[in-house]
Amino acid sequence: MQKKPIELKGSNFTLLVLYLNNHNIDIINKSLRKKIKECPGFFKNAPVIVNIAGLCNKADWKRIQDIITSHGFSVIGVSGCKNHILKKNIIDSGIPILSESKNNNINMVHNPCVTSLVKTQKDIIKKIEKTHIIDIPVRSGQKIYAKDSDLIVTNNVSAGAELVADGNIHIYGSVRGRVLAGANGDITRKIFCTRLLAELVSISGEYWLLDQIPSEFIGKAAQIYLKNKFLTINSLS
């Protein structure tokens, strides 16, 4: 059967949400520069939604947008806007206004991590019913998302690659990219790897950059999980 020329379908994407809580341009600029220095590869050319609920109605959107894009981000939408004048200025700049609903399924990131808006922890756990397996190396620039699934990689993961799963993530090889488990908000999920060199690891929105991972676990087999809402790491014997 011949495919239609175009199709519109719903989908899930991992998106960064930049929350602005200060309208001072210099403070925003310095804060963005500091954040990018923490993990430059992660934020390079990243699409971002800007939440401006914490800004006053007199915020200069044009200058704010220019500062954000000057750091390499691509602004694809604005959320949290309640002032009609500010909203008009944003729309006139070519950026869409997004509505955040407690019932949506958009994956949003508070830090460089993934947190989905869901009903209950019990509902989340029921969704994890299968396993997605990757047998080949995951190269730089590749992004793999295992929706409602655990993810198993039986090979190496290069720097600049990204693994995202609603369930657990197992990596039987060296991992130098970004690894985000519990992407739908499930705090019970874990990351397992045989050689930990990751740029970033995250469980349900809580994350560590490479320089935050305890040094004694770098290059070693380890498991990462949440304990009392804090990331915890143990050796795998």
* Span of 60-64, 121-125, 187-191 with lowest mean pLDDT: 121-125
- Rounded to the nearest 5°, which phi and psi values hold at 92? -65, -25
Q: pTM, whole model, 2 decimals?
A: 0.56
Has residue 112 got a pLDDT over 50? no
Contact (Cβ atoms closer than 8 angstroms) between residue 161 and residue 142: yes
* Model confidence band, residue 105 (pLDDT cutoffs 50, 70, 90): very low
CA angle 208, 210, 212 (to 5 degrees): 55
- When comparing pLDDT for 103 and 69, which is higher? 69
- Residues 218-237: what's their mean pLDDT? 93
Q: What is the pLDDT of residue 41?
A: 63
For residue 193, give the 3-state DSSP assignment: strand
Q: Tell me the domains of the chain and their CATH numbers.
A: 14-100 (3.30.70.260), 120-235 (2.160.20.70)
Residue type, 26: D
Q: What is the pLDDT of residue 84?
A: 86
Report the DSSP pairing between strands 222-227 and 230-235: antiparallel
- Residues 55-84: what's their mean pLDDT? 88
For residue 95, give the 3-state DSSP assignment: coil
On average, the pLDDT of the chain sits at 82
In this predicted model, what pLDDT tens digit does every residue of 113-130 receive, in sequence order? Answer: 333 333 344 444 455 557
Task: Report the alpha-carbon distance of residue 150 to residue 156 in Å, rounded.
Answer: 17
Has residue 77 got a pLDDT over 50? yes
Q: What is the pLDDT of residue 141?
A: 86
Burial class (CB in 10 A: 0-12, 13-18, 19+), 74: exposed
Q: What is the pLDDT of residue 218?
A: 95
- Residues 20-39: what's their mean pLDDT? 85
Taken in order 165, 167, 173, 174, the sign of the CA dihedral is positive
